[in-house]
Amino acid sequence: MNNKKIAIIAIAAIALIITSLGAVSAFELFGMNLFGPTTDFDTKFMTGTFNGDVIQQKVEDNSSAREWMASFEDPEHNITYNMSCVKDGDFITDVYQLQGLQAPEIRNYNNQPWKIFFSQAVPDSNVTDNKTADNSTNNTVNVYICEADVNGTAYTINVIAYDNKTECDGTLFCPLYKDYIGPLIESIQFKDAKKAPKMADLMGMSDEEFKFNREYIDGIFNGTIDPSQG
């Protein structure tokens, strides 16, 4: 068999691999990463891999819950990842929903359901047009809240993207989500969280107070309590 025929067969074989496995998987098979560098991380409560050159940040918290929090920064893409692990942690996102946060999308990664919320904020509440001083750049902050409930414990990743450096339209199909958030969640491995802090303790509530508030919020969601009636 001459070299020309060998080359044609090799190209056909590569095309077959790409068709069978998908383009990204095929590139990974040949040692190519379409998104540049990756960064592994390992915290007390989860491990995983970021797409991008990501740096761990100091958590400014002196409470006993500090070891159950972590923060990472991707300076090239202006993305911050804040992580936490708290028992009954879904209480906070339920409160957010009562305050207007839209209902989450539900996605399964490695047989684990994740609730994906999206919201926006502005870094300066005194800004009325959300633009920089030269009126050239939209200054809206895009926020994805990603939450997995494992045996009553919420593993949460808050992804905060600044300055629209990575394209985002609030869906699960934009570059910010599909190139950075989705692959991160898919890489997550949970660690044991039996000693994770309780939301009641973090909020300064007794167990009875927290139970009352938990049941009140549940009642609003299931329609048995009308908050307008006081």
Q: CA–CA separation, 150 vs 148, rounded Å?
A: 6
Which residues are CB-contacts of 214 (< 8 A; sequence separation ≥ 6)?
88, 91
Q: Can you say how many angstroms the Cα of residue 115 is from the centroid of all Cα atoms in its chain?
A: 9
Task: Give the right CATH number for 35-197 from 3.40.50.261, 2.70.98.60, 3.20.20.80, 3.40.1000.10.
Answer: 3.40.1000.10
Under 8 Å between Cβ of 189 and 42: no
Residue boundaries of the structural domains of the chain: 1-33, 35-197
The pTM of the full predicted model, rounded to 2 decimals, is 0.79
Q: CA–CA separation, 62 vs 83, rounded Å?
A: 16
Could you tell me what percent of the chain has a pLDDT over 90?
65
Q: CA–CA separation, 184 vs 186, rounded Å?
A: 5
Q: Per-residue pLDDT tens for 59-117?
A: 887 777 889 999 999 999 999 999 999 999 999 999 999 999 999 999 999 999 999 99
